[in-house]
Amino acid sequence: MIKTQEEAEAVGQNNDSQTGVLIVDDHKVLRQGLAKLINQEKDLHVCGETENAQQALDAIETLKPDVILVDISLPGMNGIEFIKNVKARHPNLPMLVLSMHDESLYAERALRAGALGYIMKKSSGEDVLEALRKARHGEFHVSGKVGVTMFQKFLGHQQVKNSSPVSVLSDRELEVFELIGRGRGTREIAESLHLSIKTIDSHRAHIKEKLKLATATELIQHAVRFVERAAVV
């Protein structure tokens, strides 16, 4: 559901001197909590909320947000692909990821896609607000752990390793892997991602090869465990 510009104005939240934030998350309770947190600040306000990426792409055109706060796991297009799409259309629009997923796996992917920061959902409200203000001014925001890891990679320290074995997967392969873990079949994944069944089969084969899995059953088991671990992060 999109909260329109007119609705924001009706409750006195729209102000040219404030930073307008668009929240993209499929959990209504979380959106409401974030909106309450953000709208208490004099320099910030929530200009809109959407529950999926396609709604958000449409909302950007009408609401003109200053910053986007997006989750990784979304129905249809996931957060990483959404960031890439927004970056292609609006290269100067700042985006931040707020996710339950382990930053050691997703933060670098989000930054490569075009986000200015990555925040874990277990972070404090103050951390979220700080990240929004930094993003509004084009500044990056990541945890110290992520910063050190990326700096070491920049220096060419190849011994830096990701804590998850699925780090070898491409962004699209990781998306398919997660959907498999959520119980989606090949046809359903293909329809969700607007790809052919043949393409999804190819991704499944590459995932099995990279993770050294012999059968489709092993692939499903590993994917389910991955999703279950993410749910308790």
**53 within 8 A of 85, measured Cβ to Cβ:** yes
Instruction: Provide the 3-class DSSP secondary structure of residue 50.
Output: strand
Is pLDDT at 145 greater than 70 in this prediction?
Answer: no
Q: Which one has a higher pLDDT value, 6 or 33? A: 33
Cβ neighbors of 137 (< 8 A, separation 6 or more) are none
Tell me the C-alpha distance between 85 and 101, whole Å: 21
d(CA 118, CA 97): 5
Gap between the Cα atoms of 16 and 232, Å rounded:
39
Separation between Cα atoms, residue 208 and residue 168, nearest integer Å: 11
Q: Per-residue pLDDT for 148 more than 70?
A: no
Q: Which domains does the chain have, with CATH numbers?
A: 5-152 (3.40.50.2300), 165-231 (1.10.10.10)
Q: Write down the pTM of the prediction.
A: 0.77
- Which pLDDT band holds residue 9 (cuts at 50, 70, 90)? very low
Which phi and psi angles does 98 have, rounded to 5°? Answer: -120, 110
Tokens describing residue 111: 């930054």
